Structures are given as structure tokens and as C-alpha cells.
Amino acid sequence: MTRGRRWRVVVFVIAAIYFLVPLVAAGEFSLRKPGGGYGFANYLAIATDPVLLNALLVSLEIAVVTAVLVLILVIPTAVWVRLRLPAVAGLLESATILPIVVPPVVMAAGIAFVQANLDAPVFRSLFSSSITALTPFYVVLALPFAYRAIDNGLAAIPLRTLVEAARNLGAGWASALLRVVLPAIRSAVLGSAFLTLALVLGEIVIARILLYTDTFPIAVVDVGRSVAGVSVALTLASLLLTWVLLLAVSFAGGRRTSRTS
């Protein structure tokens, strides 16, 4: 075994220990029973807790609406910039970085000020529920990740050739976008949706400051204050769900690549 290969093995082992030991410890703790022994009582408590299930449904609903809005905003914009306005691509990339530069606490403080001081009917209806209140701001937070995923997907295909071929065959812009461009960047679209889902299921700052307590991250924190085993089990279940979604995205992208080849 060469020296370089030995170092790769050492780094891999260290990384495996760093990531796997906390997961194994958390899994062992989540299986402990209050009276001693091991079992799946903590995981069964998740499935029978109406508060947790309702919070998960609310967050999934917010995630789906957020992902749809993000894709509607990003895909046509990214395609149009690459085809018609390549000179402003750098400016657009800089603009999409702003939600990362501005801390979520600062954004949440500004949102809380708007919520407390503007009493117009449109704002009252906007902040009437967690879905309508949080979704617009989660769209802003997800834009940097979604834009880069979509832009990388567009950079990997002959976009101009595909669009011009579709236009020469009589397709309109909307038809070319839906029937030619979208299938070609399906993996990037799924990746953007996955990143948005992960962001919504993990964001807690804005929801906490705006006092919306019916979202999934808030429920995880509240459960952890009372029943630690259920909280750890819930965290592991969330991590497993995220991995399953990531594998589904990778599998869908791999199938698309195989068919294209």
C-alpha cells in the first residue's frame, strides 16, 4: 500500500468515527426504556403523538409550497439570463448570496418589526397562519441554494441548442421550457426541491421569533425539554427521512442520466 493510499484510509477511518460514533450513541440512547432495557417505545411515541404529526404535516406543507414557488421563480429566471442576459449573470449570483450574508436572526427581527407595527389587512392575513407567514421568507432563504443547483444543471446541458431546436420545431417558450429544458435538468430540479425541504425542516430561528410554534423544528425542541429519548428518536427519524430523500434524488438523477446516454 502506497503512502498516499494509507493516508486516504486514515482520513476515511477518522471521518467514519467522527460521523458514526455520535449516530450510534444517539441510536442506543433512543432505544432505552425509562424502566431499563431497550425497545422502540420512543419511536412509537412519535407515531402516536398528534402534536408531532401535526407539526410535521405543517412543515411538509410549507416545504412543498416553498419548493414550488422557488422553482417557479428560479428556473425561468436562470434560463432567461443564460439565453438573453448573460452579462447580468454575475449580478444575479451576487444578489442570490444576500440571504446567506444576512443572518437569519437579523431577518427575523425585521420581520417581527413588520408584524408588530403594520396593521394593514394584507399583513394581517399574511401573518394569520404559519404557512402564509413563513413561506415567503423561506423562499428567500432557499433561493441561494436553489439557484446554484439549477444554474449548475443548466451549465451541464447544451441549453441554447435545445431551446433553438424546440423553437424551430414550432414550440413556444413555455412549451420548450416545460417539455425540453425541465426533463434535461430533472436532477438539478429535484436537488433544489430537496435542499428546500431540508431547509424548511431545519429552520427554527424565524419561526421561534415570530412565535409560530406549530412547525416541526419547534416541536422537536419542545419535546426534547420533556422527553429526551423521544427527542433523540425524532431527530434520528428526521435524519433518516433526509437520507431517503437524498437517495431518491440521486436515484432519479441516475436513471435520467442512463436514459440520456
What CATH code is carried by the domain that includes residue 245?
1.10.3720.10
Q: Is residue 97 part of a domain?
A: yes
- How far, in Å, CA of 86 to CA of 105, rounded? 34
Domain with 204, as residue range(s), is: 45-260
Q: Is residue 20 part of a domain?
A: no
- How far, in Å, CA of 94 to CA of 143, rounded? 12
Q: Is residue 24 part of a domain?
A: no
Q: Is residue 163 part of a domain?
A: yes
Q: Please write down the long-range contacts of 63-66, taking CB distance under 8 Å and 24 or more positions apart.
A: 63/196, 63/197, 63/200, 63/201, 65/131, 65/135, 66/135, 66/138, 66/139, 66/142, 66/196, 66/200
Report the predicted TM-score, pTM, of the whole model to 2 decimal places.
0.79
Q: Is residue 35 part of a domain?
A: no
Q: Residue 87, class by beta-carbon neighbours within 10 Å (0-12 exposed, 13-18 middle, 19+ buried)?
A: exposed
Q: Is residue 21 part of a domain?
A: no
Q: Is residue 194 part of a domain?
A: yes
Please report, in tens digits, the pLDDT of each residue of the chain (261 residues total): 566 677 888 888 999 899 889 889 888 888 888 777 888 888 887 778 788 888 888 988 999 999 999 999 999 999 988 888 888 888 888 888 888 887 777 888 888 887 777 777 777 777 888 888 889 889 988 988 899 889 888 888 888 888 888 888 888 888 888 888 888 888 888 888 888 888 888 888 888 888 888 888 888 788 777 777 787 888 888 788 777 777 776 676 555 555 544
CB 130 within 8 A of CB 211: no
Q: Is residue 256 part of a domain?
A: yes
**Number of domains, the chain:** 1
